[in-house]
Amino acid sequence: MLEVHLPDGSVKKYESPITPAAVAAEIGPGLAKAAVSAVVDGKTVSMDYPLPEEGSISLRLLTKKDPDAIHVMRHSCAHVMARAVMRLYEGVQLAFGPTVEGGFYYDFDLDHALSDEDFPAIEAEMKRIVKEEEPFERLDEPREKALQICRDLGQKYKIEHIEEGLHDQSRLSFYRQGEFLDLCRGPHVPTASHIGAFKLLSVAGAYWKGDQSRKQLQRLYATAFFDKKELEEHLRRIDEAKKRDHRVLGKQLDLFAINPLVGSGLILWLPKGATIRGLLEDFVKGELERRGYERVYTPNIGRVELYEISGHYPYYADSQFAPIVMEQEERYLLRPMNCPHHVMIYKSAPRSYRELPLRLAEFGTVYRYEKSGEVSGMTRVRGFTQDDAHIFCTVDQVADEFRGCLEMTQFVLKSLGLTNYRVRLGFRDPKSDKYVGSPENWERAQQSLVEVCQSLRIDAQPEPGEAAFYGPKADFVVTDAIGREWQLGTVQLDYNLPSQERFGLEYTGADNHPHQPVMIHRAPLGSLERFVGVLIEHFAGAFPLWLAPEQVRVLTVSEKSEEYGRQIEGRLRDAGLRVKGDYRGEKINAKIREAQVGLIPYMFVVGEKDMAGQTVAVRDRIDGDLGPMSFDQAVAKLRQEIADRTVRQTFQGAAGLGERGSNHEY
RNA sequence: GCCGCUGUAGCUCAGUUGGCAGAGCGCGUCCUUGGUAAGGACGAGGUCAUGGGUUCAAGUCCCAUCAGCGGCUCCA
C-alpha cells in the first residue's frame, strides 16, 4: 500500500500502482488539466511517472504558475526543437539537450550548417508539432533493450553515452512524442499543449562532451515561456542588458578603444576611461598603504631563463607572445606574470623572520597571447594590468594573511556597490597528480581557507579541480550583462615558486636556521581592464560621483551668462572637481539633454537670475532639478558625496543563457 | 584554435535580380539668446575591412587574409 502526502496535509492511500496524473485526476479535473509535472520527495518527475507501490511519499503537483515548472516545459520544448530539426534535415544525430538559465539548447551533428536563416523554418515546424498536442510518453527499459533501441535509431552519441557516462545504470528511460524517441531522464510535460511561446536565439559550435579532441557539434540555443507576454518581456530584458554591454558603452562614452593596427585584445584607454582607472588605482593604493604593503616597480620584460625557473616557460608558451631573440642567445619574454620579478626582489637580500610578512605591491602589466577566438572587449585581453602583490610569509602567518587579502577584496568590492559576486574556492583534484606541494600542506591550506571564509561570513563554494597547479585559491567571480562569468579578484597560495626546484626562497628563523617562506599572490580587482569593463556594466556607464570622469557640467542658459558660467567652472576646478562648461549657442533644454545622455552626475545651470543672486541651479542626473543654491553649498554637497564614495545606482541582471541552473542532462 | 554570423561616413544602420554611394545622429559655419531631456538653415565627411578572382560592369557573386560578434575549448 502507498501513502501519498499532499502539500495541504491530506493523505491518500492506494493499493494498486498509480501515477501523479491519476492522483491529480482524483483531486479534480481542473488540476488534472493544469498540472505539468510533479515533485515526489523533492524530485521532479513527469505526470506518468510510476509511483512506488509501497511506503510513504510526499507529492506536489506543479502547474505553470510554479517557478519550477518552466524548466520541465523548456526541456520538452527542446525535444520539440530536436524533432523539428530531424524532420527538416537528413541524418541528424542527437547529442545533449539540457535546460540552462533562461532557456535551453540541443546539440546536433548534421551535415547542413545551421544558421539563423534556418530559424524561421525550424520554428514553423515546432509550431506544427506543438499544435498536434501529442503526449510525451515515458518508456523505462533495461540496459540491453535501451542500447538496442538506440542502435535501431542509429543514434551513435546516445549509444556512446549509455556505454560510457551511464555505464552503471541498469535501467534507462526514453521519452517518445510521435515519431520522435529520445534517450532522456525527463521529466516532461504531459502533452505538447503545455508548451507556450518559444524562440530560437542562436547557433554555436560545441564539442561533444565538452572535449576539444572530439567532434564539434552544432548547438541551437532557444528559450520558451508559458505565455507570449513573458517571452516578450524576457527578450526585452535581453535587449536592455545588451545596451549595458561595456563594449557598447565604452564606445558611446569614449572610455576605451581597440584598434586592429595596435593589435587585437590591446586596450587603448581614452582620457575618460583613464580617469576612472586612475581613480581606482589611487583608491587601491590608499588601501595598500593602510594594510602594510610596500610599493615596488619592475620591468614588463624579463629574460626567458627567469620564466624557465618559475616554470611559466615553456609550460604556457602557446599562450605567450614569442620570446624576443637578441644576439648571442639572449632571449626576453614579455612578462606573463609579475611574480618572478617580485621573487627576485625578495631574493635581493637575505631575509629574517623578523621581516615577514613581506608584502610587495605593484600595478604590474602582463601580456598573454590569448587564442584568437577568446579575446573580448576589456574582459579578455592580451595585455592587462593586475593590481598585484605578493606576500612572503611563514607557514604560521598564512591564515592571517589570507584573511587580510579576503578582507581587502571584500572592502574594495563593497565600496563600489559590487555585491553580486560569488566566491569560488579552487581546491585540488585528489585524483590528479599535476599539483606541486605535499598533500598535507594542501589539506591544511584548504582547511584554513574554508575557516577564514566562514569567519568572514563569505559564502564560498569549494570546487575540486579548480586550483592552480601550485596552490589553492579563492576567486571572486561576477556575471556580466550578457550572462558570462568572469573572475575578478583572486587570492592564491603558492608552494611552487619558493621551493628548491624553483627559486629556493629562504629566511632565517628564530632558531637561526634557514626556512622556506610561503607565497601568496593576490589581486583584489584582478585586472584593471576586466574590472573596469565589469564596472561599466555594473553602473551602466553612470559612474558614482567619485569615479565619474566628468563630475559637473556648467550649462549656461544663454550666452549672456557665459562669463559668469566660466567663472563658476573655474571655481569648481579650483575646488578639485572634474568639470566642463557648455557655452554653445544651444537652448538650455538641448544642453541638459546632452549632459543627461552623457551620464554627467551633476549639472550647474547658470543664467542671469543666478548671476544676480550669485547662485547655481543644481540639477541631479537622477533626481532632476534641485533648485538654486549658493556655490559653496553646492560644492559642499558634492564633496560630501565624493568623500563618502556614495553609490546611488547600480544595474544588474544578465541577459544571456548562462550555465547556472543547468539540468536535465540528456 | 574550432563552428556559425558580420564588416558601407566619427556612431547606429539602409542599399532591390550586379548598373552613378544613402539616412539619422554627431561634426563645421551662419541665424536664433532661450530657465531644466532635441530651435532652424547650409555644409564638409566614403579606397564600401584588406588582397585576389568572376563579369562589359562588383558595396552586391566567389576565394583568401584581418578584425568584430555568438558559442565551444583554454585561462599561470
Question: 3-state class of A54 per DSSP?
Answer: coil
Domain that holds residue A224: 70-242
Please say which residue of A40, A62, A84 terminates a domain: A62
Question: Do residue A359 and residue A224 come from a single domain?
Answer: no
In three-state secondary structure terms, A588 is helix
Q: How far apart are CA A344 and CA A342, in angstroms?
A: 5
Give pLDDT, residue A309: 95
Closest residue to B74 (CA to C1') is A371
Q: Is strand B within 7 Å of residue A541 (CB)?
A: no
Query: How are strands ordered across the β-sheet holding A11-14?
Result: A11-14, A2-5, A55-62, A37-40, A43-45
Q: What's the length of chain A? A: 666
pLDDT digits (tens, 9 = 90+) for A432-462: 888 888 888 888 889 989 999 999 999 898 9
The per-residue pLDDT for range A85-123, each reduced to its tens digit, is 999 998 999 999 999 989 999 999 999 999 888 999 999
Distance of C1' in B32 from CA in A614, Å: 27
The domain spanning residue A30 has which CATH number?
3.10.20.30
Grid coordinates given for A558: 544663454
Residue A346 shares a structural domain with residue A437: yes
* pLDDT, tens only, A499-534: 999 999 999 999 999 999 999 999 999 999 999 999
State the pLDDT confidence band at A657, using cuts at 50, 70 and 90. low
Task: Tell whether ipTM is more than 0.90.
Answer: yes
Which H or E run contains A149? helix A143-153
A143 and A225 in a single domain? The answer is yes
Residue A444 belongs to what H/E stretch?
A: helix A439-455
What is the β-pairing status of strands A324-325 and A331-334?
Answer: antiparallel
CB-proximal positions of chain B, under 7 Å: 1-5, 11-12, 31-39, 66-76
Of A308, A292, A319, A276, nearest in space to A393 by CA: A292
Q: Output Rg (C-alpha) for chain A, integer angstroms.
A: 31
**Domain shared by A283 and A330, yes or no:** yes
What was the pLDDT predicted at A666? 46
Residue type, A93: Q
Judge if A358 and A494 occupy the same domain: yes
Q: Are residues A427 and A518 in the same domain?
A: yes
pLDDT of residue A258: 94
Please provide the distance, in angstroms rounded to a whole number, between the alpha carbons at the two ends of chain A. Answer: 33
User: Which residues of chain A (375-414) touch nucleic strand B at CB < 7 A?
Assistant: 375-377, 380
Residue A665 has pLDDT above 50, yes or no: no
The bridge status of strand A37-40 relative to strand A55-62 is antiparallel
The enclosing domain of A570 has a CATH number of 3.40.50.800
A237 and A100 within one domain: yes
Q: Could you tell me if A502 and A602 lie in one domain?
A: no
Q: How many CB atoms lie within 10 A of CB A109?
A: 17
Beginning with the edge strand found earlier in the chain, give each strand of the sheet holding A301-303 in spatial order.
A301-303, A331-334, A324-325
Q: Is A388 a catalytic residue?
A: yes
A508 plus A362 within the same structural domain? yes
Contact A105, A82 (CB under 8 A): no
**CATH number (domain holding residue A459):** 3.30.930.10
Same domain, A119 and A181: yes
Dihedral angle over CA of A14, A17, A19, A25, nearest 10: -50
Provide the 10 A C-beta neighbour count for residue A419: 12
Confidence (pLDDT) at A23: 93
Look up residue A483 and give its DSSP letter: S
A371 and A319 housed in the same domain? yes
* A656 located within any domain: no
Write out the H or E segment, with its range, that includes residue A494: strand A485-494
Q: Are A471 and A424 in contact (CB under 8 A)?
A: no
Q: Are residues A235 and A309 in the same domain?
A: no
Residue A659 lies in a domain: no
Domain containing residue A198: CATH number? 3.30.980.10
Nearest Cα to Cα of residue A494 among A448, A452, A450, A435? A435
Does strand B come within 7 Å of the CB of A320? yes
- Active-site residue identified among A272, A312, A390, A424: A390
- Tell me if residue A147 falls in helix, strand or coil: helix
Question: Across the strands, what pairs with A38?
Answer: A45, A61
Of A339, A335, A346, A386, the closest CA to residue A526 belongs to A386
CA–C1' gap, A259 and B13, in angstroms:
21
Partnered with residue A423 across adjacent β-strands are A460, A476
**Contact of A176 with A209, CB cutoff 8 Å:** no
Indicate the number of domains in chain A. 4
